[in-house]
């Protein structure tokens, strides 16, 4: 008889697998900059999945990576956001954001445990891309400090959700396999996003 999955496991699986479906019908208005900073990372499945995946992958790597890797993402995201404020023309950002979902999903699915430093560098690069997208789409009238604090707080919370959910899942007998399956599901969605970004560029 199968053991019932905990609420935490259900939540993690829903975040990886069901969120893209739930958010696919969200209006592009949120990505146009009408949402507040704290809400912005929650209104696009690309940002949502990438940030949860960063936390989940950090838990999968283990050790100090569980806080160093997400911290690298948040810090680099702040730097990217500043670049976005000044409307600097950096081509391929949407493609890079989509690729981050694909790569992070594959890292989790393949249980690729990089050393902490290269893992932090990789997610840091993705953090710059995500931060640039948030900063570039910032509503003109919004206070920059409040907006940045909002999307950084929201991002850190999503990292925490992914890390705690993955950590709890890894405590279960077949949890590592379930986490890898969720990672591959994330990668499939990331591949679709990447294809759309590259073909519409």
Q: Assess if residue 27 is contained within a domain.
A: no
Q: Assess if residue 33 is contained within a domain.
A: no
**What does the pLDDT look like over 13-68, one tens digit per residue?**
444 444 443 344 333 333 333 346 666 667 778 899 999 999 999 999 999 999 99
Q: Assess if residue 25 is contained within a domain.
A: no
Print the domain residue range for 70. 44-200
Q: What helix, strand, coil percent values describe the chain, rounded to 5?
A: 75, 0, 25
Q: Which residue has the tokens 């990505």?
A: 31
Phi, then psi, of 171 in degrees rounded to 5:
-80, -15
Q: Assess if residue 18 is contained within a domain.
A: no
Q: Assess if residue 3 is contained within a domain.
A: no
Q: Assess if residue 38 is contained within a domain.
A: no
Q: Assess if residue 4 is contained within a domain.
A: no
**What does the pLDDT look like over 85-120, one tens digit per residue?**
887 778 889 999 999 999 999 999 999 989 999 999
Q: pTM to 2 decimals?
A: 0.79
Contact assessment for residue 104 and residue 190, using Cβ atoms and an 8 Å cutoff: yes
From first CA to last CA, the distance across the chain in angstroms is 50
Contact assessment for residue 37 and residue 142, using Cβ atoms and an 8 Å cutoff: yes
**Domain total in the chain:** 1
**At what angle are helices 65-85 and 45-61 packed, to 10 degrees?**
150
DSSP 72-120: HHHHHHHHHHHHHHTT---TTHHHHHHHHHHHHHHHHHTT----HHHHH
Q: Assess if residue 1 is contained within a domain.
A: no
Contact assessment for residue 104 and residue 186, using Cβ atoms and an 8 Å cutoff: yes
């Amino acid at each position: 008889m199968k053991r019932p999955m905990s609420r935490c496991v259900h939540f993690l699986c829903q975040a990886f697998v069901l969120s893209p479906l739930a958010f696919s019908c969200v209006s592009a208005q949120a990505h146009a900059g009408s949402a507040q900073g704290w809400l912005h990372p929650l209104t696009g499945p690309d940002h949502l999945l990438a940030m949860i995946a960063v936390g989940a992958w950090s838990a999968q790597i283990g050790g100090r990576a569980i806080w160093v890797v997400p911290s690298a993402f948040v810090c680099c995201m702040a730097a990217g956001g500043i670049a976005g404020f000044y409307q600097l023309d950096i081509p391929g950002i949407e493609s890079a954001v989509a690729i981050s979902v694909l790569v992070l999903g594959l890292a989790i699915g393949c249980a690729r445990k990089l050393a902490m430093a290269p893992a932090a560098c990789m997610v840091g690069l993705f953090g710059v891309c995500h931060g640039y997208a948030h900063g570039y789409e910032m509503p003109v009238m919004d206070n920059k400090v409040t907006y940045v604090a909002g999307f950084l707080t929201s991002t850190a919370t999503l990292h925490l959700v992914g890390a705690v959910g993955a950590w709890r899942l890894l405590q279960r007998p077949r949890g590592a396999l379930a986490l890898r399956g969720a990672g591959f599901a994330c990668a499939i969605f990331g591949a679709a996003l990447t294809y759309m970004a590259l073909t519409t560029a």
